[in-house]
Structure 1
Amino acid sequence: MSDTRPWIYSTDHDDPDPRTPEPGHVYVQLVGGPLDGQLLDITGYTPEERAHGALLMSNHGLHGPGGRSDYEPRPGAPDRWAGAADTT
């Protein structure tokens, strides 16, 4: 049986449980784009950073390894950030 819990963005490849959120942390769900379905820990983000989103490294985006994917908060759904574009 496969685990259906979302993967947490930027967990280490050897993390024994990359799908378990840390207690007391704040997460958003990434929607669309190459990181679709993953959770992003935004605990340390400032209010301004949370309002603007994040440029996240992704090997699966338009530019392949080393590329970045832009995710922005969805209007009316601050707990979901939508993929906006890929860049190098």
Structure 2
Amino acid sequence: MTQPTRPRTEVLAKSEEHQSLHQLADLLETIAAKLKSSGTFTLVQNGEEIPVQLPDSVKTELEYTKKGTKHKFEIEVEWDAAKTGGKVEIR
């Protein structure tokens, strides 16, 4: 008896860099403005454009952790292209 094959995770873009707090705020504001106006934004990495189109409803996860003096805050947005539902709110 064979188990169903699970889809392979494909990393379409990944970036890690140090930014000022102002640069981070600008990045988040740019993404937010594009999502509000069109529901989509485009990542550009190594000259390749990767459109990210979100449905009207997404699942969000906010996580704030601390390990010693290191702090981490993550915002994860997840959706299934075949499903819809939910509201994103940042306070």
| TM-score using structure 1 length | 0.31
The structure with the largest helix share of the pair is 2
Q: Larger Rg: 1 or 2?
A: 2
Q: Which has the higher contact order (CA 8 A, sep 6+)?
A: 1
